[in-house]
Chain A
Amino acid sequence: MSLDEHVIEVRDLSRKFGAFTAVDAVNFDVRRSEIFGYLGANGAGKSTTIRMLCGLLAPTTGHATVAGKDIARDPVGVKRSIGYMSQRFSLYLDLTVQENLQFFAGAYGIGGKKQRVAVDAALERAQLQDSRNVITKSLPGGVRQRLALASALIHKPVILFLDEPTAGVSPDSRRDFWRMIRGLAREGTTLFVTTHHLDEAEYCDRIGLMVDGKLVALGTPPELKREHVAGAMFALADTDHRALRAALAGDARVLQIQPFGRRVHLRVDAALGTPVDIQSMLTGRGVAFGEIQRIEPTLEDVFLELVGGAS
């Protein structure tokens, strides 16, 4: 098996709900042991896509294979090969940690001695050996999330689908969680993650960006930034974005002015490459500014660029 092997292939996949098209002719591939980030605002069609790929929802038109199985013709085959962790990581809160793991092992057809081995391995992996008899309800969110992840992995799936895995989890737990995700990818598991946290998307090997049911961008984070965010970006301290906008009005070299926290991001023609260039451009225009820094565009900039273009 080569690393370039496609474990997910999606061709013109669409899903309509009545007159509403939730997913509109989407095409992409996911390679083995890749972390694929599926981005978009709420309602952009992320969850609908993931549900189709997990065999939970039949596509209206188009095809997709997951782990070599056709999602429409063999949804059960798909389910056997994948793990799925839904938005509200749906553990049974009135069961103990161990009972949850036992149930999911059984649901995947792992019984008897194999089940004991699998459950013990999952407890160890999630570092939950000491809480095996704790009722899930009494665990903090981060630990519950670890348990949900361990449940979704109990049958050693080739691909793991994570639908908004870090919703409602503290930043510390989120970091730990991504460390685990990267560990899984190193061991050969393919990860398909939906998120609307753009900072998390930076951890992904490749990203697909959904806007209104369409896949509008696909590539590695650096590729996306290069392709979709032209020019050079600078962060200006101690300035007012309205004053800046007024001062630079009509200057063709200015591509974008955007307030960003306490600073203002200014994107200009790539010819202006250094802070000195910016300083000379602004001098004599009657606008106050502080320190100027060259910065790299973020995925947020990519997103703003693409969503702005679409609307």
Chain B
Amino acid sequence: MSGASKKRRRRGLVLIRFAAMAGKEVNHILRDPQVLLFALGMPVVLLLLFGYAVTFDIDHIPLVVVDQEQSASSRELIAAFEGGDLFEVVAVRETPEEVEPLLQRGVAKVGLIIPEGFDRELLRGDSPQAQLLLDGTDNNSAGMALGYANALSQAATKKAAERAGTPLELPLEARARTLYNPGLRSTVVLVPGLMVILLVMVAVMLTALTVAREYERGSMEQLFATPIGRLEVILGKLAPYFILGMVDVLLVVTVGVLLFDVPIAGELAVLTGVSALFMLAMLMQGLFISVATRNQMVASQLAVISTLLPSLLLSGFIFPVESMPSPLQVVASIFPARYFVHAVRVVMLKGGGFESIGVDCLAIGLFFLAMLAVSIKRFRRFVA
């Protein structure tokens, strides 16, 4: 037999063995409705649940008002607060002393106090003062209220000054324009992040169980008594779950776009490409867990721990990675979830192409290769 035909024959054998492994795994998946339910049902249900429940958009902050001035300009200031959806006046009181008990009881989170003489000071050109009391235990609401209140009172003050014939010129004025998400809607930012987390959890869990199951049932020994190779086992197990994972991506993106109005500003091909890469990395992480533990119980717990915490806390999904202490940033930069959250936001919201997510793709790719290498190494050919 010539060298070339020998090589071709060997490649043919590799393909046959790989196909046998993948086909067997497909049969396992199709026979187990729980796997399909977990893989396809859970992400959609959780996306709906979290997508509707989790929101960082703050509105209808309860406001208590004390207007001791009772003038046109003071009423204008109050009207400005009431105008948007942000504040809702829940109480009107006579004296400033009555405000704090309401904050304490949680009836209101913000108190607006306009003292006597507000109008006079405004007309005189002095800086008129209105007091804002904030409930600091809800720092998100307080921060938002403070920012809005500053902007609103500035606008109201300017208007009042103009009317009084003494226009106010600010030495420095910031004019901000928000790109990519003009309404600063948190769902637009959250849903892509949420999609990432769900995909991570499902992908790692799916493969974490497969190899461990074979060790537990004793079929791994039988498998190793055949000429099938480590790489053939690993890739054969990976392939069907990869397809399942990509169906998952499709489902989750569809739900995100249709129900949560998340835009896909970038190209679908880029989104698919980076998702495929990420899916491979996560499935490989699951396989590594499986190979290393050889025990379904331990593997499933490790799968949850190694995905949920990093993807929830260290991915930049909720807390920006840039704001973390530097040791934590180092830890965060190991997990591919962080890069994928970034890449998905770039592609879906900013319309970026591969050139804007090159670093992310590289990091995810490296993680995949590292996981593949350690899995093969751990996957001892000789089962002792």
Are A and B part of the same complex?
yes
Cβ–Cβ contact B226 & A94, under 8 A: no
For residue A189, CB closer than 8 A to chain B, the reply is no
Residues 368-384 (chain B) with a chain A CB within 8 angstroms: 381-384
Q: Chain A residue with minimal CB distance to B383?
A: A56
Contacts of A112 in B (CB 8 A): 16
B24 within 8 A of A: yes
Chain A positions within 8 Å of B20 at CB level? 102-103, 105-107, 111
Does A109 interact with chain B (Cβ within 8 Å)? yes
Q: Are B31 and A57 in contact (CB under 8 A)?
A: no
B226 surroundings in chain A (CB, below 8 A) = 79, 104, 107-108
Interface stretch of the complex, out of A83-91, A178-186, A244-252, A296-304: A83-91
Tell me if A217 counts as interface (CB < 8 A to partner B): no
CB pair B219–A107 under 8 Å, yes or no, is: no
Tell me which residues across on chain B come within 8 A of A213, comparing CB atoms. Answer: none
Whether A94 pairs with B27 at a CB distance below 8 angstroms is: yes
The answer to the question of A28 belonging to the interface, with a C-beta cut-off of 8 Å to chain B, is: no
- Given A90-B218, A90-B222, A92-B219: A107 and B21 interface contact (C-beta under 8 Å): yes
**Within 8 Å CB of A94, what residues of B?**
27-28, 31-32
Q: Is the CB of B218 within 8 A of A86?
A: yes
Whether A86 pairs with B221 at a CB distance below 8 angstroms is yes
Bitwise, A103-130 to B at CB < 8 A (1) or not (0) is: 1111111111000000000000000000
**Chain A residues whose C-beta falls within 8 Å of the C-beta of B223 in the assembled complex:** 107
How many angstroms between the C-alpha atoms of A58 and B16 in the bound complex? 27
Quick one: given A75-B381, A94-B28, are A111 and B12 in contact (CB under 8 Å)?
yes
Report the Cα distance A104→B223, complex, angstroms: 9
A56 in contact with B21 (CB, 8 Å): no
How extensive is the interface on chain B, given as a class? 20 to 34
Answer yes or no: B17 CB below 8 A from chain A CBs: yes
Number of A-B contacts (CB under 8 A): 88
Q: How long is the Cα–Cα vector from A84 to B227 in the complex, in angstroms? A: 11
A88 vs chain B, min Cβ distance (A): 4
Contact status B382-A57, CB under 8 Å: yes
A50 nearest CB neighbor, chain B only: B225
- B19 touching A54 by the CB < 8 A rule? no
Q: Is A281 an interface residue (CB 8 A)?
A: no
- Taking CB atoms and an 8 Å cut-off, the chain A residues in 15-62 that contact chain B are 17, 51, 54-58
Chain B 222-248 interface mask (CB, 8 Å, partner A; 1/0): 111111110000000000000000000
**Contacts A17-B384, A56-B383, A103-B20 given: A109-B13 contact, CB under 8 Å?**
yes
In B1-40, the 8 Å CB interface with A consists of: 12-13, 15-17, 19-21, 23-24, 27-28, 31-32
Whether A99 pairs with B27 at a CB distance below 8 angstroms is: yes
B217 at interface, CB cutoff 8 A: yes
Q: Does A294 sit within 8 A of B, measured CB to CB?
A: no
Task: Tell me the minimal C-beta distance from A147 to chain B in angstroms.
Answer: 13
- Taking the closest CB of chain A, its distance from the CB of B68, in whole angstroms, is 77
Q: Which of A263-280 contact B (CB under 8 A)?
A: none
Interface string of B283-319 (1 = CB under 8 A from A): 0000000000000000000000000000000000000
Contacts of B28 in A (CB 8 A): 92, 94-95
B381 CB → nearest A CB, Å:
7
B residues 127-171 near A (Cβ < 8 Å) are: none
Question: SS class of chain B's interface: helix, strand, loop or mixed?
Answer: helix
> B227–A107 contact, CB under 8 A?
yes
Of B17, B32, B382, the contact of A106 (CB 8 Å cutoff): B17
Tell me whether A80 is interfacial, beta carbon within 8 Å: yes
Q: Is A288 an interface residue (CB 8 A)?
A: no
Chain A residues whose CB sits within 8 angstroms of the CB of B21 once the complex forms = 103, 106-107
Asked if A56 meets B12 with Cβ closer than 8 Å, knowing A94-B28, A106-B19, the reply is no
Residue of B nearest to A107 (CB): B226
Separation of A305 and B130 alpha carbons in the complex (Å) = 105
Query: Which of chain A's residues have a CB closer than 8 A to the CB of B222?
Result: 84, 86, 90
A167 within 8 A of B: no
Assess the A79–B13 pair: CB atoms within 8 A. no
B307 to chain A, nearest CB (A): 26
Q: Is A243 located at the chain interface by the 8 A CB criterion?
A: no
Max chain A C-beta neighbours (<10 A), residue from B17, B225, B383: B225
Q: Which of A84, A87, A99, A109 has a CB less than 8 Å from the CB of B16?
A: A109
Question: CB distance B24 to A92 under 8 Å?
Answer: yes
Measured CA separation A97–B380 after assembly (Å): 29
> Are A90's CB and B217's CB within 8 A?
yes
Inter-subunit contact B224/A56 (CB<8 Å): yes
| Chain A residues, Cβ within 8 Å of B13 | 109
How distant is B156 from chain A, measured CB to nearest CB, in Å?
Answer: 71
Could you pull out 17 A-B pairs where Cβ atoms are within 8 angstroms? A56-B224, A56-B383, A75-B381, A75-B382, A79-B227, A80-B227, A86-B218, A86-B225, A87-B218, A91-B219, A95-B24, A99-B27, A102-B23, A103-B23, A106-B19, A106-B21, A107-B223
List chain A positions with a Cβ less than 8 A from chain B: 17, 51, 54-58, 75-76, 79-80, 82, 84, 86-88, 90-92, 94-95, 99, 102-112, 135
Pairs of residues from A and B, 5 with the lowest C-beta to C-beta distance, nearest first: A106-B20, A111-B16, A84-B225, A90-B222, A90-B219
